Each structure stands twice: as structure tokens, then as C-alpha cells.
Structure 1
Amino acid sequence: MPMHDWTRVSAGTYHDFHNSWITHLKEAFNAGLLPPAYYALGEQRSGGIDPDVITLRTEDAEPEDRGYTRYDDDGETGLVAVAEAPPRVRILQEAAEEVAFYLQRRRTLVIRHVSGDRIVALIEIVSPANKHAHQTLDAFVDKVVAALREGIHVLVVDPFPPTRRDPDGMHGAIWERLLAGDYQPPDDLPLTLVSYCVKHPITAYVEPFLVGSVLPEMPLFLTPERYVRTPLESTYMQAWAGVPNRWRRVIEHES
């Protein structure tokens, strides 16, 4: 199923679809896509009660007397090795200012659960609200950059064209904030999928696309060397099945 033009509907209509897509992504990951030591949760990280991101956590090895399962392998069974199968994307970018990136790292206080569960990756799906104003755009960019600075890999799905607030798309804004270099989306491919891998230097796997494109299985990195293929297309189709006919007609209407 091709990507639809979500600029045709209200932010509230897209928000409902957005939440459904996140739910189906979470279900797919937890149904066997992830190794046993990992699990996915939909979490709200910016206020409110609806799921905002998919968070993948790893169950760190804990003493058996504390009631946690200890895994005998390295937790990477089932993951794809970059060295064996490099992600197939149109554009590969490496940060040009690695030193500047790490000099900007800030010490922060992180409160963690006693189980040792830790966030290793996030999936962020852009909404119209993220581009509505400079303040909301900056908040989104800051959230992604903060995660990368904490060593968390991030996959960003941006199904909306650039605006005057992000003339190079959301990836362009993030890449600029990282002082990593420049990015300009192709004129005929204004939408963007990008997977950030936190390594030395930080690497962005970029797949520009357009309305009508079939979504590829983007890599979501769980370690700097290994990733899982994200089933964007199949979960998108599941979420689309729940869109009311009233709004399907609006979205699918050909001008």
C-alpha cells in the first residue's frame, strides 16, 4: 500500500492513525521480531496519555535471586549484522564534526528502574504538530538529539513535506543541530525516513520518498553493529485498516 497524503486531513485525524501505527509496530516487535532480551513499549514522552514513541528496552542480566531471567547469549540473536548485510538506503551520511558533537554532550541525571531495563532505541513518527511552530519543531529536534547524546539509536519517520520552519525536512533540522553537516532532500522525494546509529562517527541511513511510495523495511539499530528490520509497510497497512471511510475518501481523493 502506498504512503498517503496526510496533509489532506486534520491533525486530529492523523493523530488517531499515528497512535494506531505505533500500536501495531509495538505488537510486531513483541511478536518475535526482537531477540528475547529486548521488548518494545509505546510511551508518551511529551505530555498527555497517548503513545508518542516506540521505546525498545533491553533486559540487562540481573542476579537470579532478584527474579530476573539471565540470558546465556549476548542478546543479539536474530539481529542483522551491518558487516554482513548493510542497510539498503539511498543516502548514507556520517557526521562531519564528531568532536563538536561529543564536546556538546551534557551531564544529566537519569533515574532508572531497579530491574536495569534501559532504553536502547526509539522510533519517532512525525506529526503535523511537530512542524506547527518553531517551538514545537525545536522541541522535537531537541528530543532526538538528546536521545542520540545518551547513546540511544533513533528511527525517524517523517511523512510530511518540508515547511518554512524545516526547509530541509526534519532530518535536515536534526543533522544541522548535531553540527554533523548539511542535508537537502531531493526535490522529487520530499518525505524522509532516517535511521540514526550512534557510533563513531554517528551515521544516518536516509531514505527519501514521496506520497505513493511503498515503505521499505528501515533498519532500527539496537547496537552500533546490529539492527532489526522495521516492518513499516505491513504495520502501516494494519493502521490504515482502522481509518474511517469518511476520511479514507478525503485522503484517497484524486485532484
Structure 2
Amino acid sequence: MAVHDWTSVDAGTFHAFHTGWILHLSETLNGGLLPSGYYAMPEQQMNRRIADILTLSVPGTTPSPLPDGGGVAVVDIPPNVSRRLSTSTSIRAARRTLAIRHVSGHRIVALVEILSPANKDRAKHVEEFLFKAEGALVQNVNLLLIDLFPPGVHDPAGMHGGLWERFDDDPYVVPVDEPLVAASYVASDRPDAYVEHFSVGASLPDMPLFLNAERYINVPLEATYEMAFRGMAEFWRRVLEGQTPAP
């Protein structure tokens, strides 16, 4: 299914879709995609400006080594993405950190973040999100970021670009013809990023989600996106498919 133009509907409509997508991602990950001992759980942030997230957790304070067959080894099959980014040697020294803990005491190993319009509608909200995402990475929490909205006045390099520029001195350039992005980060104070840019009308890529620095799973973004879209009200599906004018 092609990615729709979510700028053509209001934030509430996207939020309804977003909620369904998070749920289907959680169901898919918990339905056998994750190795034994790992689980996914949707969490709603008390601050509505921060996106609802999907956490990937493992019981105990330190995850045990993954057994053979638990995820995919990067050394055996590198993630199939267009770009792999590594930070430059002139890494910025100043770091702000944010401790992220799971209320149950189970250690979070990864986050899936689907950006919403509220994350990008003013400079303060962009800074709040980037602060949280940067803090997660330096606290050894891997991250998969999905942004279906093009860069705007408050995030001229896009949210991925804004995050990457906190770790690398070079300005991030967003492809003009592919302004949307999915980016998977390997947690570190000098993270690696696996990045796919795409546009409205393109198919969503499957993206790696890292369990640790050596192993990952492939997350079926397109299949779960389609499930969430089919669960929307028919009227809004028709608007997004260009069959009905937006109100």
C-alpha cells in the first residue's frame, strides 16, 4: 500500500490512525516476530505533545544473550536499507541525557516512535522530542523513528536530520523528492543509523529494529500500516485516497 498524504487531514484523524498502527505493530511483534523473552507494549505519554510509543522490553535488568536464531545477525545479513550513517570523529562533546525506565522494572531495549503533527508544530515541541530521543540513545535504548510528515519550518532537516545533527557535525540534507523517513538507530553516544527516505505514494520499507548492537529484527511497516488504514472510517479513507474532498 502506498503512503498517503497525511497533511491533507487534521491531527485528530492522524492520531486515530496512529493509535491503530501502534496496536498492530505490537500485535505483530508479540505474535512471534520477537525472540523469546522480549515483548512489545504500547505506552501513552502523559504529555500529549510527545508521541505514543511502542516499547520493547525484556524481563530483568540485563537482557540475556540472544540464542541462535534470535533476531538477525548484522554481520551475517546487514539491514537492507539505502543509507547507513556513522558519526564523524569530531563528535560534539556536550550531551544531554534522559533516563528512561519502564514502570514494571523491566528493562527497555528499544522504542518505536511514530511522529505526529504535534511533535513538529512549534520549536519547543521539536526540541522536547529530540531531547527525549537523544537521551534514549545515549542511555542504550535503540530507536526506530517513523516520520510521515515532510520537514517544516521548525524541523528544516526533518526530525531524523535534527536528531542526527546532535551526534554529527555535518548538516543533514533531506532529499527533495523523498522528504519522509524511517530511521533505525543503534544505541550509543556515537550511534549508527540505518535510513530510508521515501515520498507520498511510495511503499513503506520494512525496517530493522535493533535488540542490541549485533542483532535486529525486520519490522513489517507496510503490512501493519495497511491493517491500521483498513480500520479507519470509510469517509477518511476516501479522503486520503483522493476520492472525497477534505471537509
Deviation at 1:47, TM superposition (A): 2.8
Match for 1:93: what amino acid? L
Q: How big is each residue's C-alpha offset from its partner over 1:44-97, in whole Å with a ceiling of 9 and x where there is no partner?
A: 23435x9800000012389xxxxxxx98x6356430011111111111110115
In the alignment, structure 1 segments of 5+ residues that lack a partner are 63-69
Match of 1:104 in 2: 95
Match for 1:226: what amino acid? R
Secondary structure (helix, strand or coil) at the match of 1:144 reads helix
Q: 1:35 to 1:180 in 2, by over 3 A?
A: farther
TM (norm. structure 1) is 0.86
Give yes or no for contact 1:22–1:51 (8 Å, CA) kept in 2: no
Matches within 5 A, 1:72-83: 74-75=66-67, 77-83=69-75
2:115 is the counterpart of 1:142? no
Match for 2:11: what amino acid? A
Inter-partner Cα distance in structure 2 for 1:241 and 1:117: 33
Inter-partner Cα distance in structure 2 for 1:104 and 1:61: 24
Match of 1:95 in 2: 87
2:214 is the counterpart of 1:225? yes
Deviation at 1:166, TM superposition (A): 1.0
Give yes or no for contact 1:30–1:39 (8 Å, CA) kept in 2: yes
Deviation at 1:140, TM superposition (A): 1.0
Inter-partner Cα distance in structure 1 for 2:108 and 2:141: 7
Match of 1:59 in 2: 59
Q: 1:12 to 1:156 in 2, by over 3 A?
A: same
2:178 is the counterpart of 1:189? yes
Deviation at 1:189, TM superposition (A): 0.4
Inter-partner Cα distance in structure 2 for 1:216 and 1:117: 30
Match for 1:139: what amino acid? E
Match of 1:202 in 2: 191
Match of 2:154 in 1: 165
Inter-partner Cα distance in structure 2 for 1:109 and 1:247: 38
Deviation at 1:163, TM superposition (A): 0.4
Match of 1:213 in 2: 202
**Which sits farther off after the overlay, 73-82 or 203-212?**
73-82
Match for 1:172: what amino acid? G
Give yes or no for contact 2:175–2:197 (8 Å, CA) kept in 1: yes
Q: 1:166 to 1:172 in 2, by over 3 A?
A: same
Secondary structure (helix, strand or coil) at the match of 1:145 reads helix
TM (norm. structure 2) is 0.89
Give yes or no for contact 1:98–1:180 (8 Å, CA) kept in 2: yes
Secondary structure (helix, strand or coil) at the match of 2:92 reads helix
Structure of larger gyration radius = 1
Inter-partner Cα distance in structure 2 for 1:179 and 1:75: 34
Secondary structure (helix, strand or coil) at the match of 1:156 reads strand
